[in-house]
Amino acid sequence: MAETEYDKEHTHPGVGQYVEIGIILGVMTLLEVILFESFDRGFSTQVGIPALIVLTILKFMLVVLWFMHLRFDHKLFRRLFFVGVALALLVFGIVGANFYLGPQIGF
């Protein structure tokens, strides 16, 4: 048996949609570079850096949801992945808090 019953039932996007996502990803990367270059011309980093982070999250989600098929796949796969992401963010938060706040609160 090559595929499970579940595999037979769920569908993936078509080639055209994959190419569209690929073009959007390329354009978003170009936007990131333009934003970065605009800092040299005096564009505010207080606006530009949040914009860079938003673009990064959008690119991340496009790849995860469409190329990795999490939008179409079983919810268990989604949970496994996003639990990993949540734990990574937790580690990041704990390390950051310990490093930056620790000295201030006497650690």
Partner 1 sequence: MAAQPEADMSAPLPGTDYEHSTSLGLSNNKLGMWTFIGSECLFFGALISTYLIYVGRTNEGPTPAAIYDVPFTSVSTFILLMSSLGMVLALAAIQAGEMRKFRTWILATGLMGATFLAGQFYEFTVFAAEQFNLTTSPFSSSFFVLTGFHGLHVALGILMLLAMWTASMMGRLPQQLHTTVENIGLYWHFVDIVWIIIFTVVYLIPAATTAPAAG
Backbone angles phi, psi at 10, to 5 degrees: -85, 150
Least Cα distance to 48 among 59, 58, 37, 57 occurs for 37
Q: Is 46 in the site for partner 1 (CB under 8 A)?
A: no
Backbone angles phi, psi at 69, to 5 degrees: 65, 20
Nearest-angstrom CA–CA distance, 33 and 30: 5
From the centroid of its chain, how far is CA 54?
A: 9
Q: Is 65 in the site for partner 1 (CB under 8 A)?
A: no
From the centroid of its chain, how far is CA 64?
A: 7
- Which listed residue (47, 71, 96, 101) binds partner 1 by CB under 8 A? 96
Binding mask 4-33 for partner 1 (x = CB under 8 A): xxxx----x-xx--xx-xx--xx--x--xx
Q: Is 76 in the site for partner 1 (CB under 8 A)?
A: yes
Note the residues at the interface with partner 1 (CB under 8 A). Answer: 1-7, 12, 14-15, 18-19, 21-22, 25-26, 29, 32-33, 35-36, 39-42, 45, 48-49, 52-53, 55-56, 59-60, 63-64, 67-69, 74, 76-77, 80-81, 83-85, 87-89, 91-92, 95-96, 99
